[in-house]
Structure 1
Protein backbone atom coordinates (compact mmCIF):
# COMPACT_ATOMS: atom_id res chain seq x y z
CA UNK A 1 0.00 0.00 0.00
CA UNK A 2 1.34 3.44 -0.94
CA UNK A 3 1.54 6.12 1.72
CA UNK A 4 -1.36 8.06 0.14
CA UNK A 5 -3.68 5.12 -0.51
CA UNK A 6 -7.00 5.48 1.34
CA UNK A 7 -5.59 8.57 3.08
CA UNK A 8 -7.26 12.00 3.06
CA UNK A 9 -5.47 14.68 1.07
CA UNK A 10 -6.52 18.34 0.98
CA UNK A 11 -5.35 20.44 -1.98
CA UNK A 12 -5.77 24.18 -2.46
CA UNK A 13 -5.46 25.63 -5.94
CA UNK A 14 -6.81 22.30 -7.15
CA UNK A 15 -8.59 23.78 -10.16
CA UNK A 16 -5.49 24.05 -12.33
CA UNK A 17 -1.75 23.83 -12.71
CA UNK A 18 0.27 21.86 -10.20
CA UNK A 19 -2.72 21.62 -7.84
CA UNK A 20 -4.83 19.83 -10.44
CA UNK A 21 -1.95 17.56 -11.45
CA UNK A 22 -1.44 16.61 -7.80
CA UNK A 23 -5.14 15.89 -7.40
CA UNK A 24 -5.23 13.55 -10.41
CA UNK A 25 -2.04 11.76 -9.40
CA UNK A 26 -3.28 11.29 -5.84
CA UNK A 27 -6.57 9.97 -7.22
CA UNK A 28 -4.59 7.38 -9.19
CA UNK A 29 -2.84 6.41 -5.96
CA UNK A 30 -6.11 5.80 -4.16
CA UNK A 31 -6.33 8.89 -1.98
CA UNK A 32 -9.58 10.42 -0.79
CA UNK A 33 -9.57 14.04 -1.87
CA UNK A 34 -10.78 17.40 -0.62
CA UNK A 35 -10.28 19.85 -3.48
CA UNK A 36 -10.38 23.59 -2.84
CA UNK A 37 -10.34 26.47 -5.34
CA UNK A 38 -12.07 29.81 -5.83
CA UNK A 39 -12.85 29.00 -9.50
CA UNK A 40 -16.00 26.85 -9.49
CA UNK A 41 -15.73 25.81 -13.14
CA UNK A 42 -12.07 24.76 -12.92
CA UNK A 43 -12.76 22.99 -9.64
CA UNK A 44 -15.62 21.03 -11.19
CA UNK A 45 -13.39 19.92 -14.07
CA UNK A 46 -10.66 18.78 -11.67
CA UNK A 47 -13.20 16.89 -9.57
CA UNK A 48 -14.48 15.03 -12.63
CA UNK A 49 -10.96 14.01 -13.61
CA UNK A 50 -10.32 12.63 -10.13
CA UNK A 51 -13.66 10.85 -9.91
CA UNK A 52 -12.89 9.23 -13.27
CA UNK A 53 -9.92 7.63 -11.50
CA UNK A 54 -12.31 6.18 -8.90
CA UNK A 55 -11.47 8.68 -6.15
CA UNK A 56 -13.93 9.92 -3.58
CA UNK A 57 -13.93 13.72 -3.94
CA UNK A 58 -15.25 16.51 -1.75
CA UNK A 59 -15.02 19.86 -3.58
CA UNK A 60 -15.37 23.30 -1.99
CA UNK A 61 -15.33 26.69 -3.70
CA UNK A 62 -13.42 28.86 -1.25
CA UNK A 63 -10.99 31.78 -1.16
CA UNK A 64 -7.90 30.87 0.88
CA UNK A 65 -7.63 34.48 2.07
CA UNK A 66 -10.95 34.18 3.93
CA UNK A 67 -9.99 32.95 7.42
CA UNK A 68 -13.51 32.19 8.62
CA UNK A 69 -14.32 30.28 5.43
CA UNK A 70 -11.12 28.24 5.70
CA UNK A 71 -11.92 27.29 9.29
CA UNK A 72 -15.40 26.16 8.28
CA UNK A 73 -14.12 24.14 5.32
CA UNK A 74 -11.45 22.44 7.45
CA UNK A 75 -14.08 21.35 9.98
CA UNK A 76 -16.40 20.04 7.26
CA UNK A 77 -13.60 18.07 5.57
CA UNK A 78 -12.43 16.45 8.79
CA UNK A 79 -15.99 15.58 9.76
CA UNK A 80 -16.81 14.15 6.33
CA UNK A 81 -13.67 12.05 6.00
CA UNK A 82 -12.93 11.37 9.65
CA UNK A 83 -9.66 13.31 9.63
CA UNK A 84 -6.95 14.76 7.39
CA UNK A 85 -3.63 13.11 6.55
CA UNK A 86 -1.98 15.34 3.94
CA UNK A 87 -2.28 19.00 3.01
CA UNK A 88 -0.98 20.53 -0.22
CA UNK A 89 -1.17 24.33 -0.08
CA UNK A 90 -0.74 24.96 -3.81
CA UNK A 91 -2.87 28.08 -4.35
CA UNK A 92 -0.85 31.01 -5.66
CA UNK A 93 -0.62 33.99 -8.01
CA UNK A 94 2.22 35.97 -9.58
CA UNK A 95 2.84 39.66 -10.27
CA UNK A 96 5.38 41.38 -12.49
CA UNK A 97 6.36 45.03 -12.35
CA UNK A 98 8.77 47.34 -10.59
CA UNK A 99 7.68 48.55 -7.18
CA UNK A 100 7.62 52.11 -8.53
CA UNK A 101 5.10 51.19 -11.23
CA UNK A 102 3.03 48.63 -9.32
CA UNK A 103 -0.33 49.19 -7.66
CA UNK A 104 -0.24 48.62 -3.92
CA UNK A 105 -3.44 46.58 -4.23
CA UNK A 106 -1.66 44.11 -6.54
CA UNK A 107 1.30 43.75 -4.18
CA UNK A 108 -1.05 43.19 -1.24
CA UNK A 109 -3.07 40.64 -3.23
CA UNK A 110 0.02 38.55 -3.98
CA UNK A 111 1.10 38.54 -0.35
CA UNK A 112 -2.46 37.79 0.76
CA UNK A 113 -2.86 34.73 -1.46
CA UNK A 114 0.67 33.34 -1.47
CA UNK A 115 1.56 33.78 2.18
CA UNK A 116 -1.49 34.67 4.25
CA UNK A 117 -3.69 32.22 2.33
CA UNK A 118 -1.14 29.46 2.84
CA UNK A 119 -0.88 30.27 6.54
CA UNK A 120 -4.69 30.30 6.91
CA UNK A 121 -4.90 26.96 5.10
CA UNK A 122 -2.36 25.29 7.34
CA UNK A 123 -3.58 26.91 10.56
CA UNK A 124 -7.16 25.80 9.86
CA UNK A 125 -6.22 22.19 9.09
CA UNK A 126 -3.36 21.72 11.57
CA UNK A 127 -5.54 20.60 14.52
CA UNK A 128 -6.86 17.78 12.33
CA UNK A 129 -3.46 16.92 10.83
CA UNK A 130 -1.76 16.46 14.20
CA UNK A 131 -4.31 13.75 15.00
CA UNK A 132 -3.08 11.73 12.02
CA UNK A 133 -0.45 9.06 12.57
CA UNK A 134 1.01 9.84 9.13
CA UNK A 135 0.62 13.58 8.61
CA UNK A 136 2.25 15.61 5.84
CA UNK A 137 2.15 19.30 4.98
CA UNK A 138 3.43 20.42 1.59
CA UNK A 139 4.00 24.13 0.96
CA UNK A 140 4.93 25.87 -2.27
CA UNK A 141 7.70 28.42 -2.45
CA UNK A 142 9.54 28.89 -5.76
CA UNK A 143 12.97 29.18 -7.32
CA UNK A 144 12.14 32.84 -6.67
CA UNK A 145 12.09 31.95 -2.99
CA UNK A 146 15.80 31.07 -3.25
CA UNK A 147 16.99 34.14 -5.12
CA UNK A 148 15.24 37.44 -5.83
CA UNK A 149 14.95 39.01 -9.27
CA UNK A 150 14.02 42.48 -10.52
CA UNK A 151 10.35 43.25 -11.20
CA UNK A 152 9.10 40.43 -8.97
CA UNK A 153 9.31 42.19 -5.60
CA UNK A 154 5.83 41.08 -4.54
CA UNK A 155 6.22 37.49 -5.72
CA UNK A 156 9.75 37.18 -4.31
CA UNK A 157 8.59 38.55 -0.97
CA UNK A 158 5.72 36.08 -0.75
CA UNK A 159 7.84 33.08 -1.69
CA UNK A 160 10.69 33.98 0.67
CA UNK A 161 8.01 34.28 3.37
CA UNK A 162 6.65 30.81 2.53
CA UNK A 163 10.15 29.38 2.76
CA UNK A 164 10.75 30.89 6.21
CA UNK A 165 7.30 29.91 7.44
CA UNK A 166 7.78 26.32 6.25
CA UNK A 167 11.18 25.91 7.85
CA UNK A 168 10.00 27.31 11.17
CA UNK A 169 6.86 25.16 11.17
CA UNK A 170 8.84 22.01 10.34
CA UNK A 171 11.03 22.64 13.39
CA UNK A 172 8.05 23.38 15.62
CA UNK A 173 6.31 20.14 14.68
CA UNK A 174 9.50 18.14 15.02
CA UNK A 175 10.18 19.60 18.47
CA UNK A 176 6.66 18.75 19.61
CA UNK A 177 7.02 15.18 18.23
CA UNK A 178 3.71 15.58 16.41
CA UNK A 179 4.57 13.16 13.61
CA UNK A 180 3.58 15.76 10.98
CA UNK A 181 6.30 16.62 8.46
CA UNK A 182 6.64 19.81 6.40
CA UNK A 183 8.00 19.69 2.85
CA UNK A 184 8.65 22.97 1.04
CA UNK A 185 8.55 22.74 -2.75
CA UNK A 186 10.62 25.00 -4.99
CA UNK A 187 9.30 24.78 -8.57
CA UNK A 188 11.15 26.25 -11.49
CA UNK A 189 9.33 26.90 -14.74
CA UNK A 190 6.29 24.62 -14.89
CA UNK A 191 3.85 24.68 -17.82
CA UNK A 192 0.87 26.20 -16.04
CA UNK A 193 -1.28 29.29 -16.58
CA UNK A 194 0.13 31.16 -13.55
CA UNK A 195 1.79 33.89 -15.66
CA UNK A 196 -1.08 34.09 -18.16
CA UNK A 197 -3.45 34.64 -15.20
CA UNK A 198 -1.02 36.88 -13.33
CA UNK A 199 -1.09 40.51 -12.29
CA UNK A 200 0.99 43.09 -14.17
CA UNK A 201 2.01 46.69 -13.67
CA UNK A 202 0.62 48.95 -16.40
CA UNK A 203 4.13 49.57 -17.76
CA UNK A 204 4.74 45.87 -18.47
CA UNK A 205 4.25 44.23 -21.86
CA UNK A 206 1.94 41.49 -20.65
CA UNK A 207 1.82 39.53 -23.90
CA UNK A 208 5.60 39.56 -24.31
CA UNK A 209 6.14 38.35 -20.74
CA UNK A 210 3.65 35.51 -21.22
CA UNK A 211 5.27 34.47 -24.52
CA UNK A 212 8.72 34.53 -22.94
CA UNK A 213 7.62 32.41 -20.00
CA UNK A 214 5.79 29.84 -22.08
CA UNK A 215 8.53 29.59 -24.73
CA UNK A 216 11.75 29.79 -22.70
CA UNK A 217 10.98 29.16 -19.02
CA UNK A 218 8.07 26.71 -18.62
CA UNK A 219 9.90 23.47 -19.34
CA UNK A 220 8.50 21.05 -16.73
CA UNK A 221 5.16 19.30 -17.31
CA UNK A 222 2.70 19.60 -14.39
CA UNK A 223 2.20 15.82 -14.28
CA UNK A 224 5.95 15.29 -13.95
CA UNK A 225 6.06 17.99 -11.29
CA UNK A 226 3.32 16.24 -9.31
CA UNK A 227 5.27 12.96 -9.27
CA UNK A 228 8.43 14.72 -8.06
CA UNK A 229 6.50 16.50 -5.32
CA UNK A 230 4.75 13.36 -4.09
CA UNK A 231 8.03 11.45 -4.05
CA UNK A 232 9.59 14.13 -1.85
CA UNK A 233 6.55 14.34 0.42
CA UNK A 234 6.48 10.57 0.79
CA UNK A 235 10.09 10.69 1.99
CA UNK A 236 9.31 13.66 4.25
CA UNK A 237 12.07 15.74 2.70
CA UNK A 238 12.50 19.31 3.92
CA UNK A 239 12.99 20.67 0.40
CA UNK A 240 11.95 19.47 -3.04
CA UNK A 241 13.26 21.13 -6.21
CA UNK A 242 11.12 20.76 -9.32
CA UNK A 243 12.97 21.07 -12.62
CA UNK A 244 16.61 21.42 -13.62
CA UNK A 245 16.25 25.21 -13.45
CA UNK A 246 15.18 25.11 -9.79
CA UNK A 247 18.08 22.80 -8.94
CA UNK A 248 20.50 25.12 -10.74
CA UNK A 249 19.17 28.15 -8.86
CA UNK A 250 19.58 26.30 -5.57
CA UNK A 251 23.22 25.56 -6.40
CA UNK A 252 23.90 29.16 -7.45
CA UNK A 253 22.29 30.46 -4.26
CA UNK A 254 24.61 28.27 -2.18
CA UNK A 255 27.74 29.11 -4.18
CA UNK A 256 27.24 32.85 -4.58
CA UNK A 257 25.48 33.73 -1.35
CA UNK A 258 24.47 37.38 -1.35
CA UNK A 259 26.69 38.09 -4.38
CA UNK A 260 24.00 36.71 -6.68
CA UNK A 261 22.39 40.16 -6.38
CA UNK A 262 25.20 41.57 -8.51
CA UNK A 263 25.14 38.70 -11.00
CA UNK A 264 21.42 38.49 -11.79
CA UNK A 265 20.97 42.07 -13.10
CA UNK A 266 24.10 41.73 -15.28
CA UNK A 267 22.82 38.48 -16.78
CA UNK A 268 19.44 40.12 -17.37
CA UNK A 269 21.07 42.99 -19.27
CA UNK A 270 23.05 40.59 -21.46
CA UNK A 271 19.91 38.56 -22.15
CA UNK A 272 17.95 41.68 -23.07
CA UNK A 273 20.65 42.85 -25.49
CA UNK A 274 20.82 39.42 -27.11
CA UNK A 275 17.06 39.30 -27.48
CA UNK A 276 17.04 42.77 -29.00
CA UNK A 277 19.57 41.77 -31.65
CA UNK A 278 17.56 38.64 -32.40
CA UNK A 279 14.33 40.64 -32.79
CA UNK A 280 15.99 43.03 -35.26
CA UNK A 281 17.02 40.18 -37.53
Structure 2
Protein backbone atom coordinates (compact mmCIF):
# COMPACT_ATOMS: atom_id res chain seq x y z
CA UNK A 1 0.00 0.00 0.00
CA UNK A 2 1.33 3.44 -0.92
CA UNK A 3 1.36 6.44 1.40
CA UNK A 4 -1.37 8.24 -0.57
CA UNK A 5 -3.74 5.27 -0.69
CA UNK A 6 -7.03 6.15 0.97
CA UNK A 7 -6.14 9.82 1.27
CA UNK A 8 -7.70 12.84 -0.46
CA UNK A 9 -5.77 15.35 -2.57
CA UNK A 10 -6.66 18.75 -4.06
CA UNK A 11 -4.73 19.78 -7.20
CA UNK A 12 -4.97 23.03 -9.17
CA UNK A 13 -3.84 23.24 -12.78
CA UNK A 14 -4.76 19.59 -13.30
CA UNK A 15 -5.71 20.01 -16.96
CA UNK A 16 -2.19 19.36 -18.27
CA UNK A 17 1.48 19.05 -17.41
CA UNK A 18 2.59 18.31 -13.87
CA UNK A 19 -0.97 18.68 -12.54
CA UNK A 20 -2.26 15.99 -14.90
CA UNK A 21 0.68 13.69 -14.10
CA UNK A 22 0.05 14.15 -10.37
CA UNK A 23 -3.62 13.25 -10.83
CA UNK A 24 -2.73 10.15 -12.83
CA UNK A 25 -0.21 8.82 -10.33
CA UNK A 26 -2.29 9.59 -7.25
CA UNK A 27 -5.31 7.95 -8.87
CA UNK A 28 -3.26 4.82 -9.53
CA UNK A 29 -2.23 4.81 -5.88
CA UNK A 30 -5.84 4.97 -4.67
CA UNK A 31 -5.98 8.63 -3.62
CA UNK A 32 -9.33 10.40 -3.98
CA UNK A 33 -9.03 13.60 -6.01
CA UNK A 34 -10.53 17.06 -6.25
CA UNK A 35 -9.14 18.57 -9.46
CA UNK A 36 -9.42 22.05 -10.92
CA UNK A 37 -8.26 23.99 -13.96
CA UNK A 38 -9.49 27.01 -15.88
CA UNK A 39 -9.31 24.85 -19.02
CA UNK A 40 -12.49 22.78 -18.80
CA UNK A 41 -11.60 20.64 -21.84
CA UNK A 42 -8.12 19.84 -20.57
CA UNK A 43 -9.50 19.00 -17.15
CA UNK A 44 -12.09 16.67 -18.65
CA UNK A 45 -9.34 14.94 -20.64
CA UNK A 46 -7.35 14.42 -17.45
CA UNK A 47 -10.32 12.82 -15.71
CA UNK A 48 -11.18 10.71 -18.73
CA UNK A 49 -7.62 9.34 -18.79
CA UNK A 50 -7.49 8.20 -15.17
CA UNK A 51 -6.95 4.46 -14.87
CA UNK A 52 -8.99 3.62 -11.76
CA UNK A 53 -12.71 4.41 -11.97
CA UNK A 54 -13.14 2.92 -8.49
CA UNK A 55 -11.22 5.81 -6.91
CA UNK A 56 -13.36 8.96 -6.32
CA UNK A 57 -12.58 12.02 -8.43
CA UNK A 58 -14.35 15.37 -8.72
CA UNK A 59 -13.54 18.10 -11.20
CA UNK A 60 -14.28 21.81 -11.07
CA UNK A 61 -13.47 24.57 -13.55
CA UNK A 62 -11.89 27.26 -11.34
CA UNK A 63 -9.79 30.37 -11.94
CA UNK A 64 -7.25 30.31 -9.11
CA UNK A 65 -6.82 34.09 -9.45
CA UNK A 66 -10.45 34.50 -8.32
CA UNK A 67 -10.48 34.39 -4.51
CA UNK A 68 -14.25 34.01 -4.27
CA UNK A 69 -14.18 31.09 -6.70
CA UNK A 70 -11.42 29.36 -4.74
CA UNK A 71 -13.19 29.95 -1.43
CA UNK A 72 -16.42 28.56 -2.90
CA UNK A 73 -14.62 25.47 -4.20
CA UNK A 74 -13.05 24.83 -0.79
CA UNK A 75 -16.43 25.34 0.91
CA UNK A 76 -18.07 22.85 -1.46
CA UNK A 77 -15.40 20.28 -0.64
CA UNK A 78 -15.75 20.98 3.09
CA UNK A 79 -19.47 20.28 2.78
CA UNK A 80 -18.66 16.79 1.49
CA UNK A 81 -15.93 15.83 3.95
CA UNK A 82 -14.33 17.28 7.07
CA UNK A 83 -10.70 17.30 5.92
CA UNK A 84 -8.27 16.88 3.03
CA UNK A 85 -4.82 15.33 3.29
CA UNK A 86 -2.87 16.89 0.42
CA UNK A 87 -3.18 20.25 -1.36
CA UNK A 88 -0.93 21.01 -4.35
CA UNK A 89 -1.06 24.59 -5.65
CA UNK A 90 0.27 23.80 -9.10
CA UNK A 91 -1.49 26.16 -11.55
CA UNK A 92 0.91 28.48 -13.37
CA UNK A 93 1.43 30.55 -16.53
CA UNK A 94 4.27 32.33 -18.32
CA UNK A 95 4.85 35.81 -19.71
CA UNK A 96 8.02 37.09 -21.36
CA UNK A 97 9.02 40.69 -22.04
CA UNK A 98 11.62 43.26 -21.11
CA UNK A 99 10.71 45.35 -18.09
CA UNK A 100 10.58 48.56 -20.13
CA UNK A 101 8.22 46.91 -22.61
CA UNK A 102 5.99 44.94 -20.21
CA UNK A 103 2.25 45.15 -20.64
CA UNK A 104 0.82 45.92 -17.20
CA UNK A 105 -2.29 43.81 -17.78
CA UNK A 106 -0.15 40.78 -18.60
CA UNK A 107 1.92 41.24 -15.44
CA UNK A 108 -1.28 41.39 -13.38
CA UNK A 109 -2.63 38.30 -15.16
CA UNK A 110 0.52 36.32 -14.39
CA UNK A 111 0.76 37.44 -10.77
CA UNK A 112 -2.94 36.69 -10.27
CA UNK A 113 -2.37 33.04 -11.20
CA UNK A 114 1.22 32.30 -10.17
CA UNK A 115 1.28 34.12 -6.84
CA UNK A 116 -2.25 35.03 -5.77
CA UNK A 117 -3.45 31.62 -6.93
CA UNK A 118 -1.05 30.05 -4.43
CA UNK A 119 -2.21 32.45 -1.69
CA UNK A 120 -5.87 31.77 -2.44
CA UNK A 121 -5.35 28.02 -2.49
CA UNK A 122 -3.33 28.06 0.71
CA UNK A 123 -5.77 30.18 2.68
CA UNK A 124 -8.87 28.42 1.37
CA UNK A 125 -7.64 24.90 2.11
CA UNK A 126 -5.41 25.34 5.16
CA UNK A 127 -8.37 24.87 7.56
CA UNK A 128 -9.18 21.54 5.87
CA UNK A 129 -5.54 20.45 6.07
CA UNK A 130 -5.41 21.28 9.76
CA UNK A 131 -8.33 18.93 10.36
CA UNK A 132 -6.47 16.00 8.81
CA UNK A 133 -4.39 13.66 10.92
CA UNK A 134 -1.46 14.72 8.74
CA UNK A 135 -1.83 17.50 6.18
CA UNK A 136 0.53 18.28 3.31
CA UNK A 137 0.63 21.61 1.49
CA UNK A 138 2.78 21.76 -1.66
CA UNK A 139 3.38 25.05 -3.48
CA UNK A 140 5.09 25.06 -6.87
CA UNK A 141 7.79 27.69 -7.34
CA UNK A 142 10.54 27.29 -9.99
CA UNK A 143 14.27 27.51 -10.54
CA UNK A 144 13.28 31.01 -11.65
CA UNK A 145 12.46 31.55 -7.99
CA UNK A 146 16.23 31.35 -7.43
CA UNK A 147 17.72 33.40 -10.27
CA UNK A 148 16.79 36.49 -12.24
CA UNK A 149 16.50 35.95 -16.00
CA UNK A 150 16.23 38.67 -18.68
CA UNK A 151 12.68 39.01 -20.10
CA UNK A 152 11.31 36.94 -17.20
CA UNK A 153 10.93 39.68 -14.57
CA UNK A 154 7.22 39.05 -13.95
CA UNK A 155 7.66 35.29 -13.82
CA UNK A 156 10.72 35.68 -11.57
CA UNK A 157 8.76 37.97 -9.25
CA UNK A 158 5.89 35.49 -8.95
CA UNK A 159 8.11 32.50 -8.26
CA UNK A 160 10.36 34.34 -5.79
CA UNK A 161 7.15 35.42 -4.06
CA UNK A 162 5.87 31.83 -3.89
CA UNK A 163 9.19 30.76 -2.41
CA UNK A 164 9.17 33.44 0.30
CA UNK A 165 5.50 32.93 1.12
CA UNK A 166 5.90 29.17 1.39
CA UNK A 167 9.08 29.26 3.46
CA UNK A 168 7.48 31.67 5.94
CA UNK A 169 4.40 29.47 6.16
CA UNK A 170 6.56 26.42 6.74
CA UNK A 171 8.08 28.09 9.80
CA UNK A 172 4.63 29.07 11.06
CA UNK A 173 3.43 25.47 10.72
CA UNK A 174 6.33 23.95 12.65
CA UNK A 175 4.98 21.78 15.45
CA UNK A 176 1.58 21.48 13.79
CA UNK A 177 0.10 18.62 11.78
CA UNK A 178 0.68 20.45 8.48
CA UNK A 179 3.82 19.73 6.46
CA UNK A 180 4.71 22.47 3.95
CA UNK A 181 6.90 21.91 0.89
CA UNK A 182 8.18 24.38 -1.71
CA UNK A 183 8.97 22.80 -5.09
CA UNK A 184 11.48 24.24 -7.56
CA UNK A 185 11.21 22.46 -10.93
CA UNK A 186 13.85 22.95 -13.58
CA UNK A 187 12.96 22.41 -17.22
CA UNK A 188 9.91 20.13 -17.20
CA UNK A 189 8.02 19.07 -20.32
CA UNK A 190 4.71 20.95 -20.00
CA UNK A 191 2.61 23.36 -22.10
CA UNK A 192 3.55 26.44 -20.09
CA UNK A 193 5.71 27.93 -22.87
CA UNK A 194 3.21 27.13 -25.62
CA UNK A 195 0.46 28.93 -23.67
CA UNK A 196 2.58 31.81 -22.43
CA UNK A 197 2.10 35.45 -23.34
CA UNK A 198 4.70 37.77 -24.83
CA UNK A 199 7.69 36.76 -26.88
CA UNK A 200 6.79 38.87 -29.93
CA UNK A 201 3.75 38.99 -32.18
CA UNK A 202 5.48 36.90 -34.86
CA UNK A 203 6.33 34.03 -32.50
CA UNK A 204 3.83 31.19 -32.79
CA UNK A 205 2.85 28.66 -30.12
CA UNK A 206 4.82 26.05 -32.06
CA UNK A 207 7.90 28.30 -32.05
CA UNK A 208 7.62 28.74 -28.29
CA UNK A 209 7.22 25.02 -27.71
CA UNK A 210 10.22 24.21 -29.90
CA UNK A 211 12.47 26.72 -28.12
CA UNK A 212 11.31 25.56 -24.71
CA UNK A 213 11.95 21.92 -25.63
CA UNK A 214 15.69 22.67 -25.83
CA UNK A 215 15.68 23.23 -22.05
CA UNK A 216 13.48 20.32 -20.97
CA UNK A 217 15.37 17.97 -18.68
CA UNK A 218 12.55 16.18 -16.85
CA UNK A 219 9.21 14.70 -17.87
CA UNK A 220 6.02 15.78 -16.14
CA UNK A 221 5.58 12.19 -14.95
CA UNK A 222 8.99 12.15 -13.28
CA UNK A 223 8.33 15.54 -11.68
CA UNK A 224 5.01 14.28 -10.31
CA UNK A 225 6.61 11.14 -8.88
CA UNK A 226 9.25 13.24 -7.11
CA UNK A 227 6.59 15.55 -5.63
CA UNK A 228 4.60 12.59 -4.31
CA UNK A 229 7.75 11.13 -2.74
CA UNK A 230 8.51 14.52 -1.16
CA UNK A 231 5.04 14.47 0.41
CA UNK A 232 5.62 11.00 1.81
CA UNK A 233 9.04 11.94 3.19
CA UNK A 234 7.84 15.33 4.50
CA UNK A 235 10.56 17.18 2.60
CA UNK A 236 10.51 20.95 3.19
CA UNK A 237 12.01 21.69 -0.22
CA UNK A 238 12.26 19.82 -3.51
CA UNK A 239 14.58 20.59 -6.42
CA UNK A 240 13.48 18.81 -9.60
CA UNK A 241 16.15 18.07 -12.19
CA UNK A 242 19.92 18.40 -12.35
CA UNK A 243 19.45 21.90 -13.77
CA UNK A 244 17.59 22.96 -10.62
CA UNK A 245 20.24 21.42 -8.39
CA UNK A 246 23.03 23.13 -10.35
CA UNK A 247 21.36 26.53 -10.18
CA UNK A 248 20.68 26.11 -6.47
CA UNK A 249 24.37 25.38 -5.85
CA UNK A 250 25.49 28.23 -8.10
CA UNK A 251 23.34 30.82 -6.36
CA UNK A 252 24.51 29.64 -2.94
CA UNK A 253 28.17 29.97 -3.97
CA UNK A 254 27.79 33.15 -6.05
CA UNK A 255 24.58 34.90 -4.94
CA UNK A 256 25.38 38.10 -6.89
CA UNK A 257 27.81 37.07 -9.61
CA UNK A 258 26.07 33.88 -10.81
CA UNK A 259 25.25 35.47 -14.23
CA UNK A 260 28.99 35.35 -15.05
CA UNK A 261 28.76 31.58 -15.00
CA UNK A 262 25.58 31.53 -17.10
CA UNK A 263 26.40 33.57 -20.22
CA UNK A 264 23.33 32.26 -22.01
CA UNK A 265 20.80 33.67 -19.53
CA UNK A 266 19.37 36.09 -22.08
CA UNK A 267 18.77 33.32 -24.61
CA UNK A 268 17.24 31.11 -21.93
CA UNK A 269 14.75 33.85 -21.10
CA UNK A 270 13.75 34.21 -24.73
CA UNK A 271 13.47 30.46 -25.25
CA UNK A 272 11.24 30.07 -22.21
CA UNK A 273 8.85 32.78 -23.38
Question: Same fold by TM-score, threshold 0.5 exceeded?
Answer: yes
**3-state SS, counterpart of residue 257 of structure 1:** coil
How many residues are paired up?
Answer: 268
Q: Do structure 1's residue 139 and structure 2's residue 139 form an aligned pair? A: yes
Partner residue, 2:44 = 44
1:1-12 equivalences in 2 (<5 Å): 1-12=1-12
Residue 50 of structure 1 contacts residue 57 of structure 1 at CA under 8 Å; is this kept in 2? no
Q: Say if 1:53 and 1:231 are closer, same or farther in 2 by CA, change over 3 A.
A: farther
Match of 1:278 in 2: none
Partners in 1 of 2:113 and 2:188 — Cα distance? 19
Secondary structure, aligned partner of 1:50: coil
**Residue 234 of structure 1 corresponds to which residue in structure 2?**
232
- Any conservation in 2 of the 1:141–1:185 contact (CA below 8 Å)? yes
Residue in structure 1 matched with residue 178 of structure 2 by the alignment: 180
Residue in 1 that maps onto 2:255: 257
The CA deviation at 1:178 is 2.0
Residue of structure 2 equivalent to 1:18: 18
CA shift digits 1:171-203 (9 cap, x unpaired): 0111xx321011111101111110000011546
- Runs of 4+ that moved beyond 6 A: 269-272
1:210 and 2:187 aligned:
no
Deviates more, 1:147-156 or 1:52-61: 52-61
Structure 2 counterpart of 1:219: 217
Per-residue deviation, residues 226-257 of structure 1 (Å, max 9, x unmatched): 11111112111111111111111111111111
Q: Structure 2 unaligned segments of length 5 or more: list them.
A: none
> Matches of residues 61-210 of structure 1 in structure 2 within 5 Å?
61-174=61-174, 177-202=175-200, 205-206=203-204, 208-210=207-209
**For 1:77 and 1:241, how far apart are their aligned partners in 2?**
31
Alignment partners' CA distance in 1, 2:182 and 2:256:
22
Shift of 1:219: 2.3
Q: 1:73 to 1:101 in 2, by over 3 A?
A: same
Give the conservation status (yes or no) of the 8 Å contact 1:101–1:203: no
- CA drift at 1:204: 7.4
Q: Do the aligned residues in 1 keep the contact of 2:149 with 2:266 (CA within 8 Å)?
A: no
Taking structure 1 as reference, are residues 187 and 104 closer, same or farther at Cα in structure 2, changes over 3 Å only? Answer: same
Q: 1:242 to 1:54 in 2, by over 3 A?
A: farther
RMSD (Å) for aligned C-alpha atoms: 1.9
Verify the 8 A CA contact 1:102 1:201 in the aligned structure 2. Answer: no
Q: Deviations over 1:77-130 (max 9, x none)?
A: 122233211000000001111111221111111111000011001100111111
Gaps of 5+ in 1: 273-281
* Matched position secondary structure for 2:80: helix
